Structure 1
Amino acid sequence: MPLTNRISLAQLGICSMSLVAGGGVRLFGFGQLAGWIWLGGASIVLVGVLADTVVALWHKKFGLDLIALVSIAGAIVLQEYFTAAVIALMFASGRALEIYAERRAQDEMSALLSKAPRCANRYENGQLVQVPLAAVRLGDRLAVRSGETVPVDGTLVSGATVDESSLTGESLPVSYGPGKSVGSGAVNAGDAFDLLATSTEEDSTFSNIIRLVRAAQESKAPAARLADRYALMFVPLALGIAGLSWLFSGDPNRALAVVVVATPCPLILAVPVAIVSAMSRCARRGVLIKHGGALEKMAEVKTMFFDKTGTLTGGKARLAAILAAPAVDQEELLRLAASLEQMSGHTIAQAVVGAAIERGLRLTVPERVIEQAGAGLSGWVDGKQISIGGHDYVLGTATWPAWAANLVERIGYEGAAGVYVAIDGTFCGVLQMADEIRLETPRALRMLRALGVGHIVMLTGDRADVARTIGNSLAVDAVVAEQTPASKLAAISEARRDGVTLMVGDGINDAPALAAADIGVAMGARGAAAAAESAQVVLLVDRLDRLAFAVRIAQQTRTIALQSVAGGMGLSIAAMLVAAFGYLPPVAGALLQELIDVAVILNALRVLRLETATSAERISANDLDKLKEEHARLRPVLDRLARLADQAANLPAPVMREELLLLNESLRHQILPHESNDDVTLYPRVARLIGGEDPLASMSSTHREIYRLSRIVDRLTNATLGEGDEEASMQELRRTLYALEAILRLHFAQEEEIYYGLAS
């Protein structure tokens, strides 16, 4: 505990004992001795307040402690020692409340430190060996026993159930399947499992969070006191009323009573208690605010700048599309490619493997694998020679087939990366990998606009065409692309002239911009350490909508703090006027002021209850994961819809009929049962969480359209096409397939966004 806090608590203890001891001595008739005891207790607090006031004035800060100094000193001068002791106790108890609130926030932010793992269980020569965490290397196979903390970030070899409450705030355990990533710091809430390390101790998510928490705890940045802005008005007012009451009545006790009820505990404590409570509330939801000044500014932010990669987008590659040759099955292309990619440690290779596992594809072990760093790799999978990598590595100087004529231009325009695949020397397709917009990003931006943020700008170093595509889809107000760290800095500096600015980023190149903005916010869960160190706010949870939560908490905290300041000033001024007319003696005034203190501080503590919700009032992360996994299993059906629509005009009639029969079976036995189950079981529950009479009416309407289009596919599948209407029927079929594919993709995305917003 800091020395100043120990001194404040010691003052409270001495004041309490002196007041009780003096009262006991007084009962036995030793009035003079009681006065000396009360004087001693009050003097100890007086010396502390005097020191604080001198230091504040030395730093040219005119604070409210001056009134406490005048009231205690005035009581002593007038030999009202009991009154002086009561005032001193009131002031010391107020300080103790502030210390309690600060310690509570510190406890919230440092809860992670006690859970830091020290070692890991690593497989060595078929045996488990406990090794220091620093000895873990990329690719090590580790075992995590039940109840143990995941030591480093890794990819699951088998399924696992983990408690991520210390990382995400999710109160219920979450289940993950093989191939899923698990962050360090999660606790094994189920049976033992194995994982492959994808980070070292130094680079792990949990170690990064612990460094940030320690840095925040050691930060010397003071919490700004909103109440001090009112001191220039309140202090002269209180002293003026006291002086006038003495002047007109000739009774110095009236002046003392005025100063006593003006003791500024409500103003001194209400704002810090509210701010520290808000910092504690945000810490519980994974938002680390390093000092109170940043929280105050967040309530006034008008312009927000966002980096693109890793902030508005996920920052990692995901399979966006499979572009296969007409005669090649897309699922088989992905399976063969992922089987080979198992032998590569490249991030895109891991994304390909993860996509295949997510779709439930059976991967096999490749043979005779040769990897050319930075280009690609080749090997044999199930007796087939597979080459995978960049187009130069896979195709060389070969001529592009007709079906792939504009492939490179399309992938480049969409800002994606292409993983080119050849089977037995023949180019067969491309896996389009893209850095997708975060699921919560659109919702987060809508929430920020609703909170009064007037201008949202994407500030990125990416190409202008890629940046505009992302920016237009998110409806940001401006897209500033191809920026260097220096030009980002200049853009933010210019915007600061128009109001409070906030910058969100995650990379090393964002650090100068984060430091230049009024408020820098770092995506700290996986972001660069330099960005987190430059920022005043760090999102420890990899969710952008937590920023909107923090801004809303900041605004509500400011409102509550201002209510406390206004209420404290109003009640104190009323009490001062009563005391000035002689109706409130000093001791009664001290007790009244204590009641005002308690009322105002209790009002400030309302911040701790802001935005609270029980796990029963939210969708669990397990429910969300089940929905996403089911959508992943259904996406091959969507791919088949698009592929069949593309090839309908060129397929022979018997092949077309066979493909339609397979597609129709998938629609009847996979897609439609999924949508029907959503309507019956999930939507009523979600509707209760959202509120309103029928909040999911539009989603149910989408189900009806899906059923209608599926019936058309069924009719066309079973119809006998005559020669005369064959072309018209084919056009109707293609329109229907394209429409059904588009509406299903949109519907899946809408469902996931709604569920994600309601998830804890």
Structure 2
Amino acid sequence: MSRLDLDALRRAAKPGLVALPAIGLAAGLIAHFAGAGDAASVIWTLVTLPVLAALVVEIVTSLRRGETGLDIVAALSMSAALIFGEHLAAAVVALMYAGGQHLEDFAARRARREMTDLLARVPRTAMRHRNGGLEEVPLDDIVPGDRLMIRRGDVAPVDGTVAEGTALLDESALTGESLPMRRAAGEPVMSGSTNAGDAFDLSATHRAAESTYAGIVRLVEQAQRSRAPMARMADRYAMGFLALTLLIAGVAWSTSGDPIRAVAVLVVATPCPLILAVPVALVAGLSRAAGLGVLIKGARVLERMGEVRSIVIDKTGTLTDGRPRIAETTVVGGLTVDEALRLAASLDQASKHPIAQAIVREARDRGLVLATPQGVAETSGEGVAGQVDGRAVIVGGRAFVTGRLGIAFGDGAPAAENGAVTVALAVDGRLAAEFVLTDTLREGTGALLAALRRFGVERLVLATGDRRAVAATVTAGLDFDDVRAELTPDQKVLAVVAERKSGPVMMIGDGVNDAPALAASDVGVAMGARGTAASAEAADVVLLVDRLDRILPGMQIARRARVIALQSVLAGIGLSLAGMVAAALGHITPVQGALLQEAIDVAVILNALRALRIAPAVPAGQETPGHAAKAA
């Protein structure tokens, strides 16, 4: 039988293991107060033995896997109670142990709430247009180019674009933003988004297994399987606690000559909050971060996030918006600004270049009606030529356009200067307009960097492949300790390694060229909303919402969750040790010890679950309705 089968069997048996000692305990108390003391002892023994047997099987299974823990204390306490005639205490311990397992499962499920919700929303089928009708097909049958109907309330099964009209999408489960987002025809739709408006058609751009949501699901499953260094440390300390428990029990018995004191000591130590508190608090932190659109790949990463001392940040698409916008338009001849933009955008619809798409987006934002281009010829990375409404149109870099026109271009200025990109437009053989596009700094970046300083980050470094003049212009007035420009991917890795002298390093990026540096850092953070699959795969943390400011709440949650875990451990162990000493001195009976320990365990787990209610601060001026809703 596989480990998964054994786990399923144990989960199915747990309700019975709780009900049996509960019923037996009540029946034994009735018999006891009715004067049938011997019958009560028999009943209590009979309901304890199944729990003890299940516990022994659990211990043997764990030992075969090379794992040890405080389940041994529970087995010893029940066995000792039965051997020395403390049948009521044995039944109470059996009930408390079985109930504690249920409590631990509940706490773990509660802690994983946000991540479990993500997994539960995975669609299984989709409605596909075919031969003039609709057919329901499995997700694996969907291929790029398929046209899918997304009904109200449906979850988008694959990445795609709105085929026509407007879509109203609820992305809160992915990004934490509470307000629905509108997407016009041609705009992207992230898989996992819920249709909050009327039905619309989605044009698939990826297979289901390659889509954003499928990647998120894989990351969530990976996070749920992970174990943190603190959790492994707790396991090691648990064995020390076991040895200390046996020592105190042995001393109590040998000095008093009363074995019941040793039984009481064992009972008080069963089970131990050291084991329960750490995973519950850390998983709760993972879940809380996921609810804000910060997907952390496991408890180990969560711990390291709170210890970061240096942050290396990429520029394009990370520090900046990554979506160039037209800052200035100069027209030549009789064209208006809107007509020049309409002609350029109409032709640029045929190009996937980011600058071309920025011009198209600008035209659509202004409400311009675009024509369908004809006879398009694109020179990769330079420009596009074709026909728009019967007119010959050329769009591209200055050198490309003037070269096509056969005219000299001014002083030969470069196509980009100080972070700006100049795009020329020619119509019917004449230079008609120039557009200056800039990639703007993300709003609130200065406030975010200041907040990171207050949080304890000692070094802030910009690492970019862009030219030094561009990097200097973008970072003017920002609190960076160092600006490194014209870096290759290998040099970005070296920049990350060089920062380790200050402590754990976080790298934030979004492109393929950032993937090696993300993998080399202690904590790699990918801008997953529009970042590449390579960067998301290499990163330890994925920001599902396209907001750099989410990194600070993620770090705050990580640090606070770790503090809560430590608080729970220290308080729980301290109370347990005090109870054990009291039991060794004869002040606590075995039954009282069992009740006391259960109260300690409940308090510890409830404290660990406080990580679900962590309300991270937001830099001034960056509050959003989504932040407010989550904080509430």
TM-score by length of 2: 0.84
Q: What is aligned with 2:219?
A: 212
Amino acid at match of 1:322: T
Q: Percent identity?
A: 45
Q: What is aligned with 2:573?
A: 569
Shift of 1:594: 0.9
Q: Is 1:284 aligned with 2:291?
A: yes
Q: What is aligned with 2:91?
A: 85
Amino acid at match of 1:162: L
Q: Is 1:421 aligned with 2:425?
A: yes
Shift of 1:120: 5.1
Say if 1:203 and 1:322 are closer, same or farther in 2 by CA, change over 3 A.
Answer: farther
Say if 1:46 and 1:297 are closer, same or farther in 2 by CA, change over 3 A.
Answer: same
- Contact 2:344 / 2:425 at 8 angstroms: preserved in 1? yes
Indicate the SS of the match to 2:393: strand
Say if 1:202 and 1:240 are closer, same or farther in 2 by CA, change over 3 A.
Answer: closer
C-alpha distance in 2, partners of 1:65/1:496?
40
C-alpha distance in 1, partners of 2:209/2:235?
42
Q: Which of the numbers 485, 503, 510 marks the counterpart of 1:506?
A: 510
Shift of 1:448: 2.8
C-alpha distance in 1, partners of 2:320/2:223?
27
C-alpha distance in 1, partners of 2:607/2:417?
55
Q: Which of the numbers 541, 544, 551 marks the counterpart of 2:545?
A: 541
Q: What is aligned with 1:578?
A: 582
Structure number with greater Rg is 1
Shift of 1:178: 5.2
C-alpha distance in 2, partners of 1:562/1:222?
13
Indicate the SS of the match to 1:418: strand
Amino acid at match of 2:433: G
Shift of 1:118: 3.4
Amino acid at match of 2:569: V
C-alpha distance in 2, partners of 1:473/1:180?
34
Q: What is aligned with 1:13?
A: 16
Shift of 1:177: 4.6
- Contact 2:324 / 2:439 at 8 angstroms: preserved in 1? yes
Shift of 1:257: 1.4
Say if 1:308 and 1:44 are closer, same or farther in 2 by CA, change over 3 A.
Answer: farther
Shift of 1:17: 0.6
1:601-654 CA-partner distances (Å, limit 9, x unpaired):
1111122222299xxxxxxxxxxxxxxxxxxxxxxxxxxxxxxxxxxxxxxxxx
- Contact 1:419 / 1:430 at 8 angstroms: preserved in 2? yes
Amino acid at match of 1:30: A
Say if 1:460 and 1:210 are closer, same or farther in 2 by CA, change over 3 A.
Answer: same
Shift of 1:102: 3.0
Q: What is aligned with 1:460?
A: 464
Q: What is aligned with 1:609?
A: 613
C-alpha distance in 2, partners of 1:279/1:115?
19
Q: What is aligned with 2:42?
A: 33
Q: Is 1:190 aligned with 2:194?
A: no
Amino acid at match of 2:88: F
Indicate the SS of the match to 1:30: helix
Q: Which of the numbers 409, 417, 430 marks the counterpart of 1:400?
A: 409
- 1:19-58 to structure 2, matched below 5 A, reads 20-21=23-24, 24=27, 27=31, 29-31=38-40, 33-34=42-43, 36-48=45-57, 50-51=59-60, 54=63, 58=66
Amino acid at match of 2:521: A
C-alpha distance in 1, partners of 2:626/2:468?
30
Which moves more between the two structures, 392-401 or 102-111?
102-111
Say if 1:547 and 1:88 are closer, same or farther in 2 by CA, change over 3 A.
Answer: farther
- Contact 2:294 / 2:550 at 8 angstroms: preserved in 1? yes
C-alpha distance in 2, partners of 1:433/1:120?
40
Q: Is 1:386 aligned with 2:393?
A: yes
C-alpha distance in 2, partners of 1:22/1:148?
49
- Contact 2:147 / 2:204 at 8 angstroms: preserved in 1? yes
Q: Is 1:158 aligned with 2:165?
A: yes
Shift of 1:481: 3.3
C-alpha distance in 1, partners of 2:512/2:24?
61
Task: Select the structure with the greater relative contact order (CA < 8 A; seq sep ≥ 6).
Answer: 2
C-alpha distance in 2, partners of 1:231/1:288?
30
C-alpha distance in 2, partners of 1:340/1:464?
32
C-alpha distance in 2, partners of 1:96/1:79?
27
Amino acid at match of 1:386: V
Say if 1:18 and 1:370 are closer, same or farther in 2 by CA, change over 3 A.
Answer: closer
Shift of 1:152: 3.0
1:333-370 CA-partner distances (Å, limit 9, x unpaired):
22221122234444432221110111233434455555
C-alpha distance in 1, partners of 2:140/2:13?
43
Say if 1:489 and 1:374 are closer, same or farther in 2 by CA, change over 3 A.
Answer: closer
C-alpha distance in 1, partners of 2:277/2:227?
19
Indicate the SS of the match to 2:219: helix
Q: What is aligned with 1:109?
A: 115
C-alpha distance in 2, partners of 1:324/1:754?
39
Indicate the SS of the match to 2:192: coil
Amino acid at match of 1:562: L
Q: What is aligned with 2:101?
A: 95
The structure with more helix, counted as a fraction of residues: 1
Shift of 1:587: 0.9
Say if 1:9 and 1:583 are closer, same or farther in 2 by CA, change over 3 A.
Answer: farther
Amino acid at match of 2:117: A
Q: What is aligned with 2:6?
A: 3
Q: Which of the numbers 444, 451, 458 marks the counterpart of 2:455?
A: 451
C-alpha distance in 1, partners of 2:89/2:539?
47
Q: What is aligned with 1:351?
A: 358
- Say how many residue pairs are matched: 614
C-alpha distance in 2, partners of 1:382/1:15?
77
Indicate the SS of the match to 2:43: helix
C-alpha distance in 2, partners of 1:134/1:228?
42
1:232-284 CA-partner distances (Å, limit 9, x unpaired):
76445444433333333222212221232233432221222111222222222
Indicate the SS of the match to 1:160: strand
- Contact 1:223 / 1:272 at 8 angstroms: preserved in 2? no
* Runs of at least 5 residues in structure 2 that lack an aligned partner in the other structure: none
- Contact 2:420 / 2:437 at 8 angstroms: preserved in 1? yes
Shift of 1:589: 0.8
- Contact 2:394 / 2:427 at 8 angstroms: preserved in 1? yes
Q: Which of the numbers 520, 529, 532 marks the counterpart of 2:533?
A: 529
- Contact 1:209 / 1:525 at 8 angstroms: preserved in 2? no
Say if 1:12 and 1:187 are closer, same or farther in 2 by CA, change over 3 A.
Answer: closer
* Runs of at least 5 residues in structure 1 that lack an aligned partner in the other structure: 614-688, 696-749
C-alpha distance in 1, partners of 2:384/2:194?
36
Indicate the SS of the match to 1:571: helix
Q: What is aligned with 2:416?
A: 412
Shift of 1:154: 1.2
Amino acid at match of 2:170: D
Q: Is 1:167 aligned with 2:170?
A: no
Say if 1:418 and 1:543 are closer, same or farther in 2 by CA, change over 3 A.
Answer: same
C-alpha distance in 2, partners of 1:254/1:299?
43
Q: Is 1:294 aligned with 2:301?
A: yes
Q: Which of the numbers 457, 480, 483 marks the counterpart of 1:479?
A: 483
TM-score by length of 1: 0.71
1:19-47 CA-partner distances (Å, limit 9, x unpaired):
53365367155255335414513522541
Shift of 1:452: 1.9
Amino acid at match of 2:457: V
Q: Is 1:520 aligned with 2:524?
A: yes
Amino acid at match of 1:4: D
Indicate the SS of the match to 1:422: strand
C-alpha distance in 1, partners of 2:505/2:281?
23
- Contact 1:440 / 1:756 at 8 angstroms: preserved in 2? no
Structural RMSD (CA): 3.7
1:314-336 CA-partner distances (Å, limit 9, x unpaired):
44444343344598643332222
Say if 1:476 and 1:157 are closer, same or farther in 2 by CA, change over 3 A.
Answer: farther
